[in-house]
Amino acid sequence: MTAAWPTRAGGAVLITAAVPLALLALWQAAVSAGAASPLVLPAPAEVLTALRDMLGDGTLTAGLGISLRRAATGFAVGALAGLGLGALMGLSGVADAALRPLFMGLLNVPVLAWIPLLMIPLGIGETLKYVAISIAAFSATLLHTTRALRQVPPALIEVGTIYRLTWQQRLVHILLPAAFPGVFTGLRLGLTQAWQSLVVVELVASTDGIGYLSVWARQMFRLDQMFAVMIVIGLVGFALDRVLRAAETRLARQWGGA
């Protein structure tokens, strides 16, 4: 039984790596066959060289550090607001009926569409970036928190009534544990949308950060650097999701053990 685990783990790693490796092979084959000009589609080796050079001179790490700070701040503000308002709407039918039409209308507006409006009072400074990222994190967190709390099975709520639990006891021991997976799904989606929105706002209204590096590389026609930045953006987004997923698993185990 224990000997089979490394085999299953190795198989999972191979399956996970199969699609990226296949795309890398197709990319190299297209370059080798001359399907596109090297100026438009640089070879994978050139992209890796550009990535190494940008890491070596500190350009990439400096830009990434700025972007991660912005993403962390914006996500924290937006997620906390989404959790608070989502809890209110999820626990109160009156609040949900009063606020849902307003927020459903506002949250259907993409973050990119908010940017021109936000530029009027905020300019293109740091505040604009934080607000745009917060809106992205807020929308996903709000919707999933509200849905998770309102979809708690009635049978669980009846258990609290039978045992005559107080409102606080029902919240801590019944509602929150039952809604936990849905709430954390909202947090993960909120983090993903926050990271994507960060890149967008840095593309259109920034002079630093990982998104700006992509714009700068395109303007200089350094497509090898542009591809390198794109790869880093994807890898960082994947890593952030994995970190939050690990935190979800750990918290779920601690909650279950408690």
Q: Residue ranges per domain, the chain?
A: 43-257
Alpha carbon distance 183, 8 (integer Å)? 30
The residue type of 215 is: V
Measured from the Cβ of residue 186, the count of other Cβ atoms closer than 10 Å reads 25
CA angle 112, 116, 121 (to 5 degrees): 130
Measured from the Cβ of residue 158, the count of other Cβ atoms closer than 10 Å reads 11
Alpha carbon distance 157, 175 (integer Å)? 8
User: Tens place of pLDDT for every residue, the chain, 258 residues?
Assistant: 444 545 565 566 677 778 888 888 888 888 888 777 777 889 898 999 999 999 999 999 999 999 999 999 999 999 999 999 999 999 888 999 999 888 888 888 888 888 888 999 998 889 999 999 999 999 999 999 999 999 988 887 777 777 777 778 877 778 888 899 999 999 999 999 999 999 999 988 888 999 999 999 988 889 999 999 999 999 999 999 999 999 988 888 776 555
pTM: 0.87
Task: Please choose, from the candidates 172, 111, 97, 99, the residue with its C-alpha nearest in 3D space to the C-alpha of residue 139.
Answer: 111
Given 3.30.70.2740, 1.20.1250.20, 1.10.3720.10, 3.40.50.9100, which CATH number is that of 43-257? 1.10.3720.10
